[in-house]
Amino acid sequence: MGREGISRPRHKVTSAKIAAGVIVTADIADSGITTAKLASTAVTKAKALVFASTEQTGNGSEQSIAHGLGAAPSIVMVCVTEVPDAAAETGFDVAEGTHTATNVLVTVTNTVKYKVFAWA
């Protein structure tokens, strides 16, 4: 008996299945997704380019902080760690400049302490 008359169900990942949250293992296997493909494209800690500075002190002028990422960061976060009483009373400012492949550029009010985190 031949296989000509037998139809095998095709599993496919469709937008409807994604929206409904009903994708099963057979859907993934039929779509050609493999463990090797996932591993090669996954974002992992080992592949991530991340920089965390030591504590810095603002001086009211633009400061350059070398990050060592080898590329301009796509995300930068400046976290204030200490606000002296004078700055707390009068207010303080944190402004990012145009970051480069070597430095994160920030301007922070005089005497305000902060750390920089950057991802490329």
What's the CATH fold of domain 50-119?
A: Immunoglobulin-like (2.60.40)
Phi, psi angles (nearest 5°) of residue 42: -70, 145
Model confidence pLDDT, tens digit, residues 10-52:
656 676 766 677 666 665 655 666 777 777 777 677 778 999 9
Let me know: does 25 contact 13? Beta carbons within 8 Å: no
Q: Domain extents for the chain?
A: 1-42, 50-119
Is residue 5 predicted with pLDDT exceeding 70? Answer: no
pTM of the complete model: 0.63
Number of separate helices (H) and strands (E) present in the chain: 4, 7
pLDDT reported for residue 95: 97
